[in-house]
């Protein structure tokens, strides 16, 4: 019995000694591991600090206390500089106003304008105002919607919008803003901030709505509601240009009730051509009556002084009621019209274009037109 007790006591002592040895080894391992981690962390801190100093030496101007934002952006993009290092460099930039170059999109090629704004502009600690390059409002808006650009910065950019009187919204802008919402939401947010804008251009005509449904905007929403909202957001003296391909599309949208007479009138303010085509094949196939078309559109487009008669039309009776400001009419290729006498009833007419394809009955009124002082000009292809 005694021998069993002695053996168990010895085994317990050995176990305790082994445990103490293991605990010491574990403690030594912990110390070594901690020291290794701390050393690695310090080396990383030192490396990042060295990288920060290198970036400051290369991209920070001591005389202006400003960074070369484009150069710094490209370097950070290519060499994947950690965010905390990039932000720590920008923290030294003291500018309150930033002028964006007109060539910004080319300057940041390989990256993106949106990323440049997020990486290089938003972190600037003292920035209050952004001016220049007013083609990137859509990019600012996207960063704002993502919570990256604060509203005060968006407002400062829009407040000093540089193209006085006119804002241009391209197909590229549409694709940019519809990544985070609808065009209606964009204009509702941004247009009121562009204080001196009284007109909106949509230069990429026919590309803002769905190809299969011109009443629906790309990105969602009604085209009619969108255009009505844009007009409502602008001052009373305003205009819109573009959006639809042809004036008959504005008219059809109005006739269908998609846009109001006020919206139709605003589009008329932006017209630059003095010629309006009436009775084209597309108009006739869409059920547009020339007399009603002229009656609706001409009062809204004061610049128009010339009417082009579509070659498919077979009567020009409606010409007799055209307003006095219409001084010229083209009947080139009007081979289906057999009665041109309505031209004699026009009060302001002083020029008529015709050609060999104009119906021969036109010749029967030539003398009368000349006696009225109308100049006849034969069009040559």
Reply yes or no on whether the pLDDT at 1 is more than 60.
Answer: no
Residue 257 Rama label (left phi>0; alpha psi -120 to 50; beta): left
Residue 187 structure tokens: 């204009």
pLDDT of residue 238: 81
Which residue range forms the structural domain that includes residue 368?
A: 273-381
Cβ(208)–Cβ(217) under 8 Å? yes
d(CA 302, CA 215): 27
Based on the fold, state whether residues 123 and 184 are members of the same structural domain.
no
Q: Which residue has the higher pLDDT, 12 or 233?
A: 233
Residue with the larger pLDDT of the pair 222 and 132:
222
Residue 18 within any structural domain of the chain: no
- C-alpha–C-alpha distance, residues 330 and 278, integer Å: 10
pLDDT tops 60 at residue 33: yes
Residue 278 domain flag: yes
Higher pLDDT, 373 or 379: 373
Q: Is 111 in the same domain as 174?
A: no
Residues 282, 326, single domain; the answer is yes
Question: Pick the residue with more confidence: 336 or 195?
Answer: 336
Query: 312, 281 in Cβ contact below 8 A?
Result: yes
- Check whether residue 89 and residue 192 sit in a common domain: no
Please indicate, yes or no, whether residues 256 and 195 belong to a single structural domain of this protein: yes
Contact (CB, 8 A) for 345 and 369: no
Asked if residue 146 lies in contact with residue 180, where contact means CB atoms within 8 angstroms, the answer is yes
Helix (H), strand (E) at residue 117: none
Q: Is 19 exposed, middle or buried (0-12, 13-18, 19+ CB in 10 A)?
A: exposed
How confident is the model at residue 44, as a pLDDT? 57
Do 185 and 131 reside in the same domain of the chain? no
Among the candidates 111, 142, 162, a domain finishes at 162
CATH number at residue 314: 3.40.50
β 328-330/306-309 pair status: parallel
How many C-beta atoms surround the C-beta of residue 142 within 10 A? Answer: 23
User: How far is it, in rounded angstroms, from Cα 356 to Cα 335?
Assistant: 9
**Does residue 131 lie in a domain region?**
yes
Please tell me whether residue 276 adopts helix, strand or coil conformation. Answer: strand
Average pLDDT, the chain: 87
Task: Please say whether the dihedral angle defined by the alpha carbons of residues 342, 344, 350 and 356, taken in this order, is positive or negative.
Answer: positive
| Residue that is last in its domain, among 130, 162, 194 | 162
Mind listing the pLDDT tens digit for each residue in 148-159? 888 888 888 887
The Cα 219–Cα 273 span in angstroms is 31
- Quick one: 256 and 299 in the same domain? no
Mean pLDDT of 372-379: 93
Alpha helices per DSSP H over 99-180: 104-107, 113-116, 137-145, 151-159, 171-177
Question: How many structural domains does the chain have?
Answer: 3
For residues 55-84, give the mean pLDDT.
94
196 lies in the same domain as 172: yes
> Is 201 part of any domain?
yes
pLDDT (tens digit, 9 = 90+) per residue, 307-321? Answer: 999 999 999 999 999
Question: Is-contact 244 253, C-beta < 8 A?
Answer: yes
Contacting residues for 252 by C-beta, under 8 A, at least 6 apart: 286, 288
pLDDT digits 0-9 by tens, 175-232: 999 999 999 999 999 998 887 788 899 999 999 999 999 899 999 999 999 999 999 9
Q: Cα–Cα distance between 240 and 291 in angstroms, integer?
A: 25
CB atoms within 10 A of CB 223: 23
Which of 162, 197, 213 lies at the terminal end of a domain, its last residue? Answer: 162
Question: Residue 197: what pLDDT?
Answer: 83
The residues near 41 (Cβ < 8 Å, ≥ 6 apart) are none
CB 82 within 8 A of CB 52: no
Backbone angles phi, psi at 36, to 5 degrees: -65, -45
Name beta bridge partners: 278.
309
For the residues of 214-248, what is the DSSP string, one character each? EEEETTSSBHHHHHHHHHHHS-SS-EEEESSSSHH
Q: Residue 4: its pLDDT value, please?
A: 65
Q: Does 135 have pLDDT greater than 70?
A: yes
Per-residue pLDDT at 14 exceeds 70: no
Give the pair of three-digit tokens for residue 12.
């317990």
Shared domain check, 255 and 333: no
pLDDT over 70 at 113, yes or no = yes
Confidence class for position 162, pLDDT limits 50, 70, 90 = low
- pLDDT above 70 covers a percentage of the chain that reads 86
């Amino acid at each position: 019995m005694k021998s069993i007790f002695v053996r168990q006591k010895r085994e317990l002592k050995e176990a305790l000694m082994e445990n103490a040895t293991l605990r010491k080894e574990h403690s030594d391992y912990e110390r070594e591991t901690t020291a290794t981690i701390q050393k690695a962390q310090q080396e990383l801190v030192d490396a990042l600090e060295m990288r920060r100093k290198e970036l400051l030496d290369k991209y920070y101007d001591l005389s202006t206390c400003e960074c070369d934002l484009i150069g710094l952006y490209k370097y950070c993009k290519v060499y994947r500089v950690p965010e905390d290092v990039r932000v720590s460099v920008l923290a030294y930039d003291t500018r309150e106003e930033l002028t964006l170059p007109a060539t910004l999109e080319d300057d940041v090629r390989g990256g993106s304008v949106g990323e440049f704004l997020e990486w290089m502009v938003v972190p600037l600690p003292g920035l209050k105002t952004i001016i220049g390059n007013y083609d990137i409002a859509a990019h600012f808006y996207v960063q704002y919607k993502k919570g990256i650009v604060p509203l005060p910065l968006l407002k400062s950019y829009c407040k000093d919008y540089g193209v006085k009187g006119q804002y241009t919204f391209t197909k590229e802008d549409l694709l940019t803003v519809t990544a985070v919402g609808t065009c209606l939401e964009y204009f509702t947010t941004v247009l009121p901030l562009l204080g001196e804008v009284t007109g909106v251009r949509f230069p990429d005509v026919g590309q803002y709505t769905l190809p299969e449904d011109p009443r629906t905007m790309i990105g969602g929403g009604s085209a009619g509601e969108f255009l009505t909202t844009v007009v409502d957001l602008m001052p009373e003296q305003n205009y819109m240009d573009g959006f639809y391909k042809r004036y008959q599309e504005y008219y059809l949208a109005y006739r269908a009730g998609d846009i109001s007479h006020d919206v139709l009138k605003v589009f008329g303010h932006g017209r630059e051509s003095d010629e309006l085509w009436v009775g084209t094949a597309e108009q006739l196939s869409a059920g547009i009556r020339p007399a009603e078309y002229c009656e609706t559109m001409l009062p809204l487009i004061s610049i128009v002084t010339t009417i082009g008669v579509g070659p498919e039309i077979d009567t020009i009776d409606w010409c007799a009621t055209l307003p006095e400001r219409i001084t010229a009419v083209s009947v080139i290729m009007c081979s289906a019209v057999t009665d041109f006498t309505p031209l004699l009833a026009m009060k302001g007419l002083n020029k008529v274009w015709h050609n060999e394809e104009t119906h021969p009955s036109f010749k029967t009124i030539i003398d009368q037109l000349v006696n009225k002082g109308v100049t006849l000009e034969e069009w040559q292809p």
